[in-house]
Amino acid sequence: MKTAISIQESLFRETKVLANKLHVTRSELFARAMRDFIRKQQNRQLLQQLNMAYDDTPNAEERKWQGKVKNRQRKLVEGEW
């Protein structure tokens, strides 16, 4: 697919130099850059989802129950030590 983009002239020059250095066309260089950018965005999104899934910070209700469990446990083992 063919498309047109607008970029700064300095970025165009850098792109041209890098494409020549890598022995690829500018189109191939832009395609590689976009694939890399998209992959990185997908990885960031996945990491965010994993962080949310494994967030172990207890909410207010969980903290309340933890306190009750600790108190109950303390009463159960008080005389054992």
pLDDT at 53 over 90: no
Domain span holding position 42: 9-80
pLDDT at 22 over 90: yes
Q: Is residue 4 part of a domain?
A: no
Q: Is residue 70 part of a domain?
A: yes
Rounded Cα distance, 21 and 17, in Å: 6
End-to-end CA distance of the chain: 76
68: tokens are 């009750």
CA angle 47/51/57 to nearest 5° reads: 170
pLDDT at 80 over 70: no
Res 41: pLDDT: 97
Q: Is residue 3 part of a domain?
A: no
Percent of the chain with pLDDT over 90: 69
Q: Is residue 58 part of a domain?
A: yes
Q: Is residue 30 part of a domain?
A: yes
Name residues whose C-beta falls within 8 Å of residue 15's C-beta, 6 or more positions apart in sequence.
7, 26, 29, 30
Q: What is the pTM of this model?
A: 0.63
Q: Is residue 1 part of a domain?
A: no
Domain count, the chain: 1
